[in-house]
Chains A and B, each alone.
Chain A
Amino acid sequence: MAAAAPAGQGPRWEVFKQDAAGKPHQAVGSVHAADPEHALLMARSVHARRPAAVSLWVAPADAVFAVTAEELEAAGPWAVEDGGPNRRFLAFRKTSHRRAMTFVDHVGEVEAPGPRAAVAAAMVAFPEPPALTWWVVPADDVVASPEEEAGAWFDPARDKTYKQQSAYGLLAPGKRKRVEDG
């Protein structure tokens, strides 16, 4: 990890949010935090202020290996790591240019001796639809929000209706409309 100034913003952590059971974890952005536990708490504060969420993962940004379809094409024959024991990697990919709030989606796991090999394995394991961007992260580097506390972490956001635009209804200046009291 690159040495950071002691009073600096600290290392970056990529954040993945699962909206509901059965849906994949999706990359929603990052947080700056000094350690994994702090990163999780900050991820919840920054990225789960509003519904819906049931789980969060964080991983050090340095641990994420990213490659785009364009980079793969430009690289030619893809050199992979060989030798060394297989490690578990979580694979994420983006498959559409459609405008969205989230980036890559979790698609599954592969075993490989290194990140380049993990990308190659992911392309074989999950060929359709073709990925525009691949991310692979060593499973050991991913820290998850505590499942048994999911209710405490994620339910309270639902009650804060005063920060949902739907709580304001239709505001027509001409009419003497009684606005809802939140």
Chain B
Amino acid sequence: MSGSGDLDPTLREALIARLTAMADDELILGHRDSEWTGHAPLLEEDIALANIAQDEIGHALLWLEARTALDGSDPDELAFFREAGAYRNVRMVELPKGDWAFTLLRQFLFDAFETELLARLARSSHVPLAEAAAKAAKEEVFHLRHSGLWLERLARGTEESRRRLLAALEQLWPYLPQLWQPLPGDAALAEAGVVPDPAELEEAARGRIMAALARAGVEPPAEAVPNPGGRERHGEALVTLLIDMQSVARADPGVEAW
């Protein structure tokens, strides 16, 4: 079991990269979820999705604080003063929120992957990471129930809901593999027991997603899709998102506190 002081420089850098990637996924996804506040189809769902958004942003803070312990970086500095090119989230989470089917299906795919990832990270040889993962995993139980519920209801609701769900699935499917695509430093981290074996994680996540789609009576789109590339590649959607997200902070960069 290792603490923050035990990692050699290579592993430390690799872990910083992994924590940043996970934090960026959570922050951007949470941000997209929060765009629904005040605009959801039902008052109760407005409240539910706002909770999920808070959970995701909370997870981003968990990972960024774990990174702070390694390199003294400031979470707000990282969130509000990095350009799009320096962000390391997957493309899937930065896509505009779309309709309810798009948001909830994206959430489901992410939740299914996260459930498998967090279960394994909770057994990490790096104690602070294991503890943060265990905390996040608890919240993820409810997320998966919620997004899984919507997968069912959209698939088996009306013709329109099914049509929208299938359209969202076509749109999201090419981005899915990037979720479990390992970072350059992940191999070394996996060997040290800090992160799970990528191939095993991929199999578990795929299995969970396929089983859920099958239960909902939904055929996955055909495989063989273009690879969205590494996490350093982003679309204009992220640029627009960050211009908005960072605007107030950047208008007064030297402040002591907000």
Contacts and interface: CB of A to CB of B under 8 A. Distances in A.
A binds B: yes
Interface of B is mostly: helix
A148 B248 CA distance: 44
B141 A41 contact: no
Contact of A41 (B43, B48, B55, B139): B48
Interface string A147-172: 00101110110011000000000000
Contacts of B188: none
Contact of B43 (A32, A151, A152, A160): A32
B54 interface: yes
Contacts of A34: 153
Nearest to B136: A156
Interface stretch (A42-50, A69-77, A94-102): A42-50
Interface in A8-52: 9-10, 31-34, 37-38, 41-42, 44-46, 49
A49 B51 contact: yes
Interface in B157-184: none
Contacts of A44: 142
Interface centre among A41, A151, A156 (most CB of B within 10 A): A156
A152 B142 contact: yes
Contact of A156 (B42, B48, B139): B139
B93 to A, nearest CB: 21
A71 B142 CA distance: 42
B145 interface: yes
A149 B54 CA distance: 20
A49 B54 CA distance: 11
A71 to B, nearest CB: 30
Contacts of B43: 32
B250 interface: no
A41 B149 contact: yes
Interface residues of B, number: 19
Interface residues of A, number: 22
B92 to A, nearest CB: 24
A10 B45 CA distance: 13
Given A37-B149, A49-B51, A160-B54, A151 B138 contact: yes
Interface in B28-47: 42-45, 47
Nearest to A7: B41
B149 A156 contact: no
B44 A45 contact: yes
Contact of A32 (B42, B55, B58, B138): B42
Nearest to B144: A152
Given A41-B48, A44-B142, 8 more contacts: A34-B153, A38-B149, A41-B145, A42-B44, A45-B44, A45-B51, A46-B44, A153-B142
